[in-house]
Structure 1
Amino acid sequence: MKVAFAGTPEFAQVALEQLHAAGFAIPLVLTQPDRPAGRGMKLQASPVKQFAVAHGIPVAQPRSLRLDGKYPDDARAAQAALQAAAPDVMVVAAYGLILPGWVLTLPRLGCLNIHASLLPRWRGAAPIHRAIEAGDAETGITIMQMDAGLDTGDMLLVERVPIAPGDTTASLHDRLAALGGRLVVEALELAACGGLRPVPQPAEGVTYAHKIDKAEAEADWTLPAAVIERRIRAFDPFPGVVTHLGDVPLKCWAAELTDGTGAPGTVLAVDERGPVVACGEGALRLTQLQKPGGKRLPAREFLRGHAVEPGMVLERRVA
């Protein structure tokens, strides 16, 4: 079976690695164009491209796949490359471009998507973040037969994963990436012998995992402490939750629920475990903090170089 692959970040790279290790022929990889990154803003290849190049797999990086879109030359070149590759199936994981109809129908077995949620819950761009933020008890991987809708296709394989109380998007991402790679290999092995059984998604329980908006990164201390604590974990490693102490922005990377009442944002107490901040309901102890240009630090180390005292107020500033 010849498997084309479309993906960009580390989540997708893990799946590509497992497909390669399983011995599938991979005639072509599609990934996003190189982007500026790092302090020098030098062009950097995606994790998927880096793996493909290291293993001699041909790579295409169209800016769009729409033949009638802004970059028709890119789309036509990608179409020619896919037709020449003649894949039996395409595996898609966090690619970042919309697949038009000609892509969905080009492989004889269509396109299979590795989606990091239990569909139909958390369709869309940020399913891992939103599951943690919402306080879901579990999530998982759905291998889905892609159609023209947004994550609306039939489910082929599903496996559940519990969300631990201390999970961040980073920790949950890594478990789901490994699971996604294993499940898509299993799906392709079943497809090869006609063993896949598509199941339509339920009409009930649909939710959308919208992209993280920049304004969401600002801590809103009027919210309940439990909501803010989940958001801190959901926004780790990106974009982080930000608050302001005077003119100094601080990123809050870890917190724990504690007792306390006061005006939201007010520092109620400070000890080596971290400052306790009043919320709209309850309070949070901030246990890991970062100043601009600095490193993430446990509260004990952070407080050695930064004066945070009871009565100070952490503020929310949204541009």
Structure 2
Amino acid sequence: MRLVFAGTPEFAATALRALLAAGHPVVGVLTQPDRPAGRGMKLQASAVKQVAQAAGVPVAQPQGLRLDGRHAGDAAAAQAQLLAWAPDLMVVAAYGLILPRWVLQLPTQGCLNIHASLLPRWRGAAPIHRAIEAGDAQTGITLMQMDEGLDTGAMLARAVEPIRADDSTASLHERLARLGAELTVASLPRLAQLAPQAQPGEGVCYAHKIEKAEAAIDWTQPAALIERRLRAFDPFPGAQARRGDETIKVWRGRIGSGQGRPGELLALHADGPEFACGAGSLVLTELQRAGGRRAPAAALLPALALRIDELWT
């Protein structure tokens, strides 16, 4: 089959590498436009674009795909390019743009999405983060026929991945990226034999986009939830607490055994300070001060000079 691949971040790049390594004819790639990044805010190509260019695959980077939208010119150019590529199938992974009907209907065999959850649970933009935050025991990859809904298409194949007690979004993302690539490469040769299954109506939930405002720790929440959120928001947006005028990033913690007012420092342990939460307590084991790097909390305790009973917000 002649494939077009649509994707942007490293999760998608992992799948593109696997498709190219397996010898699938990728005739073109759609990816997001270059964005400013780094301290110098220089334009940087997406991970997918870098893989495509290294392999000599043509790349298109439309600002939008709606023929009647504000980027209609870009969309028309993308349409002409896709028609020229004449794909049998489009493989999509974390592309970042909604595919309108004309895109979904253009490949002769439609569009296949690599989604990082066990649908219908965690449809939407942030399935890995939300699965960790919710305390799910497992997640996985679903290969899905795309339709005009939000991750509502028929399922073609699934693979399960356990969520470990110490998983962050970064560590789980890496495993799911590999799993998605493996499942896609294994499924394409037998695509005609895969029976589409409609998603069940029960168990639907949405993984809403992660917002920077969610980084602020709410000490009135249970310690177990805060600990999961630390891992879910690693590497973005991180979690943060206020100590007076200082904002301190909190990357890791473990459940403690104390009780007190939410945000109250209860004790200083060898691996970090223990703070009371709405239910239970949390020992903060990895911190980052402004201008510094992530470090074991124990290494920062002397400079912080914490006092028992002080309150963080």
TM-score using structure 1 length: 0.97
The counterpart of 1:236, out of the listed 214, 234, 237, is 234
In structure 2, runs of 5+ residues without a counterpart are none
Match of 1:275 in 2: 273
**Structure 2 counterpart of 1:9:** 9
Match of 2:37 in 1: 37
Q: Work out the CA distance in 2 between the residues paired with 1:309 and 1:53.
A: 55
- Mind listing any 5+ residue stretches in structure 1 that lack a counterpart? none
Aligned length: 313
Distance in 1 (alpha carbons) for counterparts of 2:300 and 2:3: 49
1:130 and 2:160 aligned: no
Could you tell me which amino acid in structure 1 is paired with residue 295 of structure 2? L
In structure 2, C-alpha distance between the alignment counterparts of 1:7 and 1:139, rounded to whole Å: 21
1:210: how far off?
Answer: 0.2
State the alpha-carbon separation in 2 of the partners of residues 21 and 8 from structure 1: 18
**CA shift at 1:272, angstroms?**
2.7
2:302 corresponds to which residue? 304
Instruction: Check the 8 A contact 2:211/2:237 in 1, yes or no.
Output: no
Structure 1: 4+ residue segments shifted above 4 A: none
1:9-36 CA deviation, whole Å, 9 max, x = no partner?
A: 0000000000000101111100000000
Q: How much does 1:114 deviate? A: 0.3
In structure 1, the residue matched to 2:219 is: 221
Mapping 1:116-265, distance limit 5 Å: 116-191=116-191, 194-265=192-263
On the 8 A contact 2:113/2:143 being kept in 1, the answer is yes
Which letter does structure 1 place at the counterpart of 2:20?
H
> Paired residue for 2:103?
103
What is the distance in 2 between the residues matched to 1:119 and 1:164? Answer: 20
Amino acid at match of 2:194: L
Question: Does the CA contact (< 8 Å) of 2:113 and 2:145 recur in 1?
Answer: yes
Q: Residue 41 of structure 1: CA displacement?
A: 0.5
Task: Please list, as runs of the form range in 1=range in 2, the aligned pairs for 1:69-80 lying within 5 A after superposition.
Answer: 69-80=69-80
Identity fraction in percent = 63
Distance 1:304 1:79 in 2: 60
Note the alpha carbon deviations across 1:202-260, whole angstroms, 9 max, x for none. Answer: 01010000011222110000000000000001000100011111111011100000100
How far 1:54 moved relative to its partner?
A: 1.0
Equivalent-residue separation in structure 1 for 2:307 and 2:10 (angstroms): 40
Task: Judge conservation of contact 1:272–1:303 (CA < 8 Å) in 2.
Answer: no
